[in-house]
Amino acid sequence: MTDVVTGNPLLDDWTAPYEAPPFDRIEAAHFLPALDVALDAHRAEIEAIATDPAPADFANTLVAIERSGALLARVRRVFWTLSSAQADADLRAIEEEMSARLTRHATAIGHDRRLFDRVATVWRGRTTLGEEQHRLVDNSYRGFVSGGALLDAAAKARFAAIDERLGELSVRFGHNVLAAGTDWSLLLDEAGCAGLPDSVRAAARRRAELAGKDGWLFTLDRGQVEDVLGFATDRDVREKVWRAFTGRCDGGPHDNWPILTEIVALRQERAHLLGHASYAEEKLEDSMARTPEAAMALLDRLWTPALKRAADEQAELQALADAPIEAWDWRFYAEQVRRERHALDGAAVKEHLTLDAVRAAAFDCAGRLYGLRFEERADIPGWHADVRAWAVSNSGGEPAGLLYTDYLARPEKHGGAWMGSLRVQERLDGRVLPIVYTVANFAKAPPPERTRLSIDEARTLFHEFGHALHALLSDVTYPSLSGTAVARDFVEFPSKFMEHWIVSAEVLEGFGVPAPLITAIGQADAFGQGFATVELAGSSIVDLAIHMTASPAPDVRAIAAATLERIGMPATIGMRHRLPHFTHVFDGGYAAAYYSYLWAEVLDADAFAAFTEAGDMFAGELAQRFRREILARGDTRDAMADFVAFRGREPDERHLLLERGLLG
């Protein structure tokens, strides 16, 4: 490295095992100087490609583009990892500037006509290329077109301004959600904690002590909210927590309505510049669904039976309640139904599901399915004391990658759970191993207690681990086709697929869960499918509706309200994510694509049925075929071709309807 970058850990050579980032040395002050160096390096690389005097071909254009930007990718990935999982004030202060610089840089490359012309030349002759090369050229060409490469100068300028503004607004939206969560807390007394499991009370007591307060402290972390709504006998407490959680950023100092309204309008304008009728049409062009109408059709087919099933479930709940069921009552009485009619005690299940045991079970399942081994590496630092690093290897001992796990909630974290990559697998210039992380927000138990998970939290851990496996088991040549870089409505397939194992009798027995309780989990799981489907599908339908409009200035609030009225959304359920805090859509990659979770469930239910039909959920031949045809392929071919290669046919929606209990 040159003298300009000496001492900046983001730019120094990384000498840790797996060339892991030196998180123990990285500070917020390192990022902007490192970004300057990385941007300059990438500009020089792109300029060399664009001005190459040799005729454009696959090697000197597409492969050269794939090789470029390695330093920038390093800086960018580390920053977004920390800004989401360890977002202290110093990082938040530079997030808008980082986003703006990165957006301007990407737009400038996308609008470079010299570079696009070279890519287009290769694209026109792509029929002579192999499958993976053909896919890379197609993706690159479409990426340039959707990035505005064919626009005139004035339109390009407006396009660039829109993209930069969208980046700014997305950051502000996420900051507001984070702030709204950290600004609110509820201190309960002994009476207010009535009904809460001992482990939940102990964690709340510890939070209060750390805050210097006497009582039991609760925040708007989803896990804590679910505990209160599911177990607190004090109805006023449940209502207070429900209203605070669902009302985040809906007015007040962190109001996100103006931000999300501008985001939707700018997305529409951007889509119109590219010749699309709506943003949803633009976004779904390269998806499995292909069109928003096809995605909405799936949701409509699920909605009617789900609504009926939810009404039946509500009738069961109402039979136990003294007053009409409200939204803050549903989880409480659902827990009673599970306990009284299905013999499922959620608190009893939680006693068996310690965080360490659930993680170990996920690792064990990956071992039995794919031959993977996981070894903790205490010599590799994480970005927080709670982060643990794991060396991943194949059955023969060959290294497969590095996995970080970061499961415990803390104020600096964004809410929810996610997976990301610090380095993607590739073999363009030799084998490059992936570095992957999974993040969640489970409430930490006070020492010496062990952190325990609900069955839904255990599902979340397995879900994100499924994403991690998709990245770890990738086996492609080109980095832009690696791992989870697939269609948005396909990327949730491997993660939803992995959820089946945590609720299986064979895995639950390993936690010491008694047989009657395992049976109860299955029965109770079937009971809540109406609620779960309505909650998820409702959010998906509204997301599509606000992005399907052709209006240049849509009234988002009115469209959302009209859509919920049209579909008959029960007030006792509501959207899983209301728009003002819907980070998937306004601070993530799921705009017009939240339906992907249900679309992917069609794939995963059908794929898992293959194991059910085989009578062995660890069937070796099926697991290896799933690894080979789904997990290893990345985006090297059409997603439907991946599924057909595994299952032998296109997916059958009936398996999802059966799994969710929506057939009869």
CA–CA separation, 67 and 60 (whole Å): 10
- Joined together, the tokens standing for residue 487 give 């269609």
Q: Which tokens is 355 given?
A: 């965080």
Amino acid making up residue 568: G
Give CA–CA dist 197/208, Å, rounded: 17
- Show the tokens assigned to 274: 């590219």
Report how far residue 240's alpha carbon sits from residue 232's, in angstroms, rounded to the nearest whole number.
Answer: 12
* Both tokens assigned to 437: 């992380």
Burial annotation 227-253 (CB, 10 A radius, 16+ → b, else e): bbbbbbebeebbebbbebbbebbeeee
Residues 6+ apart with CB under 8 A from 173: 256, 259, 260, 263, 583, 586, 587
Closest CA to 502 of 662, 380, 340, 358: 358
d(CA 239, CA 247): 12
* Dihedral Cα 329, 331, 333, 337, nearest 10 deg: 160
Burial of 557 (0-12, 13-18, 19+ CB in 10 A): middle
Active site includes 464? Answer: yes
448: cis peptide before it, omega within 30°?
yes
Q: What angle do CA 448, 449, 452 make, to 5 degrees?
A: 150
**Token pair in block for residue 199:** 């482990």
Among 464, 535, 601, 659, the active-site one is 464
Provide the 8-state DSSP code for 149. T
Encoded tokens for 20 = 């892991």
DSSP character string of 161-185: HHHHHHHHHHHHHHHHHHHHHHH--
- CB-count exposure of residue 193 (10 Å: 0-12, 13-18, 19+): buried
Query: Identity (one letter) of the amino acid at 197?
Result: P
* Torsion sign, CA atoms 543, 281, 150, 49: positive
**Catalytic amino acids?**
464
